[in-house]
Amino acid sequence: MTITILSWVGVAVVALFVGWPLLQARIGREPGDPDTVSPLERQKREALAAIKEAEFDRTMGKLSEDDFAALIGRYRGHALAAIAALDAARPRKGGRSPGKEPAYCWACGAKLSAPAKFCGACGKAVRARAA
């Protein structure tokens, strides 16, 4: 009798262990996906992953240079917008509020100095950060 109960408990534990990823997928989360990732952080990660994928496809000869440039420009814009929004939401040291100037160039991703009107790396005009 005791062996039967222990064997049923063991089967239940194994079934829960095996079925846990299926239960998580049914809830709408992927296994191992932390609940603390913000939508902006997710947007940044997805854009950076898409950039890496496009670089790999170009290396393998699946993308032409024109297609690669178009994809990289689009995904870089998504990533930089997410980074700028995350940077604006981050509390500053000393209690300062974030300024109106972006921290990174929207076109090439280079770090900008605070009073810059043009990017020092690519020469594009700096866009003011939306309030």
Distances (CA, A) of 75 to 70, 71, 82, 85, 105: 9, 6, 11, 15, 14
Separation CA 72–CA 121 (nearest Å): 17
Q: Closest by alpha carbon to 75, among 57, 98, 99? A: 57
Cα–Cα dist 52/41, whole Å: 17
Domain boundary assignment for the chain: 37-90, 98-131
* Identity of residue 93: K
Q: Which two tokens stand for residue 22?
A: 């299926």
pTM for this predicted structure: 0.47
106, 128 in Cβ contact below 8 A? no
Q: Please compute the mean of the pLDDT values over residues 60-85 and round it to a whole number.
A: 91
pLDDT level of residue 120 (50, 70, 90 thresholds):
confident
**Does the structure show a pLDDT above 50 at 131?**
no
CA distance 33 to 11: 27
Mean pLDDT of 66-76: 92
Cα separation of the two ends of the chain: 70
